[in-house]
Structure 1
Amino acid sequence: MTNETSQDQFEELSLEALEADGDLAADYLEGLLDIADLDGDLDIEVRNQRAYVSVNGGDTGLDALANPDAVQALQDLTRLAVQAKTGRFTRLIVDIGGSRDARAQQLTSLVDAAVAQIAAGKDEVTLEAMSSYERKLVHDEVAERGYVSESIGEGRGRRLVIRPA
């Protein structure tokens, strides 16, 4: 399977609904930052049928939240808060201090290494466990390079296997 999450599983939302999700998420995150006494500027963007909320700037305390596990936890909490307000699942993405871009670069490096191993004769390469968002990024990167990928495993242990086409 090259595209793990088909668009059919999620209802298409209007731009207004996606922007509203982003606003609700930003309000929730702003409240959390206030409780933690952290500063940060919130930016909301809509692309690829997702609301993206980024927290940037601020002080060095924000850096502690920029690790992948903390960002994923904040994203999960924020999604639940938005879902509680709207009554529907949201696919919003939370980014802290550019951590999503940094992780995307790491994932590209993982794909580089996997492709090199396949080019050297390996039949397949299994990558580390990662979130559904990260797996989606890797699926797309692998497909762009002309290889195929498949998700295997369950829950937090779900990972990708990359093979030649």
Structure 2
Amino acid sequence: MGKDDKVITTQAVEEFFSQLEVEGNTSVEIDEDIVSVLLDTKESGIVIGYHGEILESIEIILSLIISRKLGRFVRVSVEVGDYKKNRSAYLESLALQMKEQALQDKREYTIPHLKSWERRIIHLFLQNDEEVVSQSSGEGRERVLVIRPR
């Protein structure tokens, strides 16, 4: 992405949060077709929502807005109040617990109710593990992450 793309993207992000009347500072980084937005606001709880549902919706809407303005698809990731960073650390800890449980009991364990980006965090965390394998199973809201011994 060029310099103009960053200007267009930054303006779109700032206008979006302004329309939502969310006060705070934003910074935008662009890497290939991924736009990373860092939002520093006192209203982080409102922006994140219950289990990150509002944040996920914001990412989808921003992706549509920016993609339309740039004429090509871009993925948008928004970090607010270290939510994703903290959630990633928790998910890695959970993956380790489930791994130990699976190895100890010699059976598979499932983790339900994860968003796709959360499943991806665990898959990437365990991808080079020699003792267990992770996979996603099911469709839609019934999709679960399975951790089982190799």
TM over 0.5: yes
2:103 equivalent in structure 1: 119
Q: Is the 8 A contact 2:102 2:149 kept in 1?
A: yes
Residue 92 of structure 1 aligns to a residue whose secondary structure is: strand
- For residues 13 and 21 of structure 2, what CA distance do their matches in structure 1 show? 12
- State the TM-score, normalized to the length of structure 2: 0.81
Question: Is 2:69 aligned against 1:85?
Answer: yes
Amino acid in the other structure paired with 2:136: S
Task: Decide which moves more: 63-72 or 45-54.
Answer: 45-54
1:154 equivalent in structure 2: 139
2:122 equivalent in structure 1: 138
- For residues 133 and 108 of structure 2, what CA distance do their matches in structure 1 show? 10
- For residues 26 and 156 of structure 1, what CA distance do their matches in structure 2 show? 33
User: RMSD of aligned C-alpha atoms?
Assistant: 2.5
Which consecutive unaligned segments of at least 5 residues does structure 2 have? none
Residue 107 of structure 2 aligns to a residue whose secondary structure is: coil
Aligned residues: 147
Amino acid in the other structure paired with 2:127: A
Of all paired residues, the percent bearing the same amino acid is: 25
1:164 equivalent in structure 2: 149
Residue 120 of structure 1 aligns to a residue whose secondary structure is: helix
Alpha-carbon deviation of 1:49? 6.0
User: Which residue, out of 16, 21, 25, partners 1:41?
Assistant: 25
Q: C-alpha offsets along residues 27-51 of structure 1, whole Å, 9 cap, x if unaligned? A: 3332232123222221223458632
- State the TM-score, normalized to the length of structure 1: 0.74
- For residues 54 and 93 of structure 1, what CA distance do their matches in structure 2 show? 9
Alpha-carbon deviation of 1:97? 1.9
- For residues 94 and 7 of structure 2, what CA distance do their matches in structure 1 show? 34
Task: Decide which moves more: 119-128 or 86-95.
Answer: 86-95
Alpha-carbon deviation of 1:157? 3.2
Question: Is 2:45 aligned against 1:63?
Answer: yes
Which consecutive unaligned segments of at least 5 residues does structure 1 have? 1-15
Q: Is the 8 A contact 2:111 2:145 kept in 1?
A: yes
